[in-house]
């Protein structure tokens, strides 16, 4: 058996999580260039609580790590901050290994634990906002945190040591570094992660940040990626991201089969840059959705480029527009660029998908075949208009 690392991260608190270096996809959507972690923690007083578990497939590693600290059969509580299987999937196994342990979760969490993991009422303790559990000299306080990331989610706070176990909130998908200062790209990973996972719930995120600030943690211990021993950094970033503050930044996401649309995109990105706008350009078929999600967190404008394709947009552009609609980025302005062969249809479909987002479509350029000088000029004018709206 492998020889594992467990760490005491605060007095009587052990990290017993799993580093999944080899995982390459999350939610079958997001590439994970540095893998991820499933963080679980043991909090030991006279009684012991296990905070969250790990992704299915790592049950034995979790058990081995707990065994390095204590006899798992003596665990009294298993706290389920979130019912998603990456954290809760090992609960059935752990309930078997810890015959006297009770599962602690919110009311909605209890229903989901029954649905997903067959957790019965006699093994479950339901807690609500502000409830505490005394581990014998150490108090765990529960704070409901709905929609961060599912409706049942909560935070757990260890008083005294002031460790905030925030589950998905404040997380990052990377296996590198146990602490925030051990991964120089952490905040970039955290921003991608925020874009993919938390951005659709920005309003709840705002409340989550306030709640976290009120608790005044010394350590924020999320369930993915490094722990924060400089919590003010991630709190400051989350404050910005959840408030929907944008930069003078435009993201151009496009696809082009024969380079006609690409030619328009070139003029758009050059002319936006000339107007002093930060530009990021993504050729959709070979772009990382995580990178796009990161830029959506604080971009002020989104430009979609697509040729006409069977009466609508190219499927890659449909995918991108659908993702933008679902992730609800704070961008206020949009534009659409397209080339067609005969009947067009891409701009119309872009409007249909983006319409309900409330973004203002500042302009569109739709042309037959490759661009003429007049069409390049129309794009240059659109870049100017966009830049003006963005700096209002
Ligand atoms: C698979 C395929 C489907 C297409 N469907 C349409 C269409 O429905 N309507 C249209 O006007 N042009 C259609 N076209 C033509 C392209 O939109 C046209 O060639 C365009 O100039 C390509 O732009 P691009 O160079 O940016 O890829 C299609 C082309 C391909 C290859
Ligand atoms: Fe989750
Ligand atoms: Fe998660």
Which 3 state secondary structure label does DSSP give 182? helix
Q: Are strands 30-31 and 18-20 parallel, antiparallel or unpaired?
A: unpaired
CATH superfamily of domain region 249-387: Flavodoxin domain (3.40.50.360)
Has residue 300 got a pLDDT over 90? yes
pLDDT at 86: 98
**Residues, CB-to-ion distance under 5 Å, ligand 2:** 84, 149, 168
pLDDT at 123: 97
Closest ligand 1 atom to residue 368 Cα is 21
Has residue 216 got a pLDDT over 90? yes
Q: Could you identify the residue written with the tokens 């608790």?
A: 215
DSSP state of 194: I
Buried b / exposed e along 260-273 (16+ C-beta atoms within 10 A): bbbbbbbbbbebbe
Banded model confidence at residue 232, pLDDT cuts 50, 70, 90? very high
Token pair belonging to 270: 């050059």
Q: Are strands 308-309 and 312-313 parallel, antiparallel or unpaired?
A: antiparallel
Banded model confidence at residue 328, pLDDT cuts 50, 70, 90? very high
* CA proximity to 197, closest of 223, 161, 219: 223
Separation CA 138–CA 375 (nearest Å): 69
* Cα 222 to ligand 3 centroid, rounded to whole Å: 9
Tell me which residue has its CA closest to atom 29 in ligand 1: 309
* Cα 83 to ligand 2 centroid, rounded to whole Å: 8
Q: Which H helix or E strand runs over 208?
A: helix 202-215
* Cα 126 to ligand 3 centroid, rounded to whole Å: 21
Mean pLDDT in residue range 100-119: 97
Has residue 332 got a pLDDT over 90? yes
pLDDT at 26: 95
Query: Which residues does a 6 A CB cutoff place in the pocket of ligand 1?
Result: 256-262, 307-311, 339-345, 369
Question: Relative to the alpha carbon of 39, which ligand is closest?
Answer: 3
Tell me which residue has its CA closest to atom 19 in ligand 1: 341
Separation CA 223–CA 221 (nearest Å): 7
pLDDT at 231: 98
- pLDDT tens figures, 12-69: 999 999 999 999 999 999 999 999 999 999 999 999 999 999 999 999 999 999 999 9
Q: Which H helix or E strand runs over 187?
A: helix 186-193
- pLDDT tens figures, 138-162: 999 999 999 999 999 999 999 999 9
Q: Which of 254, 257, 372 to mutate to test the pocket of ligand 1 (most atoms within 8 A of CB)?
A: 257
Closest ligand 1 atom to residue 259 Cα is 25
Q: Order the strands of the 278-283 sheet from edge to edge.
A: 278-283, 249-254, 301-305, 333-340, 360-368
Judge if 7-243 and 249-387 fold alike in CATH terms.
Answer: no
7-243 fold: Metallo-beta-lactamase; Chain A (3.60.15)
Which 3 state secondary structure label does DSSP give 100? coil
pLDDT at 200: 97
Mean pLDDT in residue range 184-209: 98
Buried b / exposed e along 27-46 (16+ C-beta atoms within 10 A): eeebebebbbbbbbbbbbbe
Quote the distance between the C-alpha of residue 22 and its chain's center. 19
Closest ligand 1 atom to residue 261 Cα is 26
Which 3 state secondary structure label does DSSP give 313? strand
What integer best gives the mean pLDDT of the chain?
98
State the pTM of this model: 0.96
Domain layout of the chain by residue ranges: 7-243, 249-387
- pLDDT tens figures, 236-282: 999 999 999 999 999 999 999 999 999 999 999 999 999 999 999 99
Banded model confidence at residue 1, pLDDT cuts 50, 70, 90? confident
* CA proximity to 166, closest of 236, 101, 125, 217: 217
Residue 147 CB: number of other CB atoms within 10 A? Answer: 18
As beta bridge partners, residue 140 has 133, 158
Q: What percent of the chain has pLDDT over 70?
A: 100
pLDDT at 20: 98
Separation CA 106–CA 123 (nearest Å): 14
Question: Relative to the alpha carbon of 83, which ligand is closest?
Answer: 2
Q: Which of 263, 268, 283, 341 to mutate to test the pocket of ligand 1 (most atoms within 8 A of CB)?
A: 341
* Cα 107 to ligand 3 centroid, rounded to whole Å: 19
Mean pLDDT in residue range 291-320: 98
């Amino acid at each position: 058996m492998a020889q594992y690392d467990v760490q005491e991260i605060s007095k009587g608190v052990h990290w017993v999580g799993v580093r999944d270096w080899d995982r390459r996809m999350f939610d079958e959507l997001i590439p994970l260039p540095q893998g991820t972690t499933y963080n679980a923690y043991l909090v030991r007083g006279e009684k012991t609580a296990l905070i969250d578990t790990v992704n299915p497939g790592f049950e034995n590693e979790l058990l081995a790590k707990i065994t390095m600290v204590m006899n798992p059969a003596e665990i009294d509580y298993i706290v389920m901050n979130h019912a998603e299987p990456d954290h809760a999937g090992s609960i059935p196994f752990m309930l078997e290994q810890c015959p006297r342990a009770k599962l602690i979760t919110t009311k909605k969490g209890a229903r989901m634990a029954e649905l997903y993991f067959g957790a019965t009422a006699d093994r479950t303790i339901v807690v609500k906002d502000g409830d505490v559990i005394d581990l014998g000299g150490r108090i765990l306080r529960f704070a409901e945190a709905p929609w961060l990331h599912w409706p049942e989610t909560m935070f757990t706070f260890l008083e005294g040591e002031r460790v905030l176990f925030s589950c998905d909130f404040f997380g990052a998908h990377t296996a590198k570094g146990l602490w925030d200062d051990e991964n120089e790209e952490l905040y970039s990973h955290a921003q991608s992660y925020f874009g993919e996972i938390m951005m659709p719930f920005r309003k709840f995120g705002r409340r989550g940040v306030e709640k976290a600030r009120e608790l005044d943690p010394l350590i924020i211990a999320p369930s993915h990626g490094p722990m924060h021993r400089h919590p003010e950094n991630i709190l400051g970033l989350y404050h910005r991201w959840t408030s929907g503050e944008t930069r003078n930044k435009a993201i151009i996401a496009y696809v082009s089969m024969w380079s006609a649309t690409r030619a328009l995109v070139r003029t758009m990105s050059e002319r936006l840059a000339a107007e002093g706008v930060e530009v990021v350009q993504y050729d959709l078929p070979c772009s990382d959705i995580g990178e796009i999600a990161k830029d959506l967190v604080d971009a002020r404008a989104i430009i979609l480029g697509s040729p006409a394709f069977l009466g609508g947009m190219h499927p890659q552009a449909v995918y991108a527009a659908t993702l933008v609609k679902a992730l609800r980025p704070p961008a206020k302005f949009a534009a659409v660029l397209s080339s067609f062969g005969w009947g067009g249809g891409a701009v119309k479909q872009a409007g249909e998908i983006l319409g309900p987002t409330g973004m203002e479509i500042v302009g569109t350029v739709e042309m037959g075949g490759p661009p003429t000088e007049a069409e390049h000029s129309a794009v240059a004018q659109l870049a100017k208009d966009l830049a003006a709206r963005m700096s209002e």
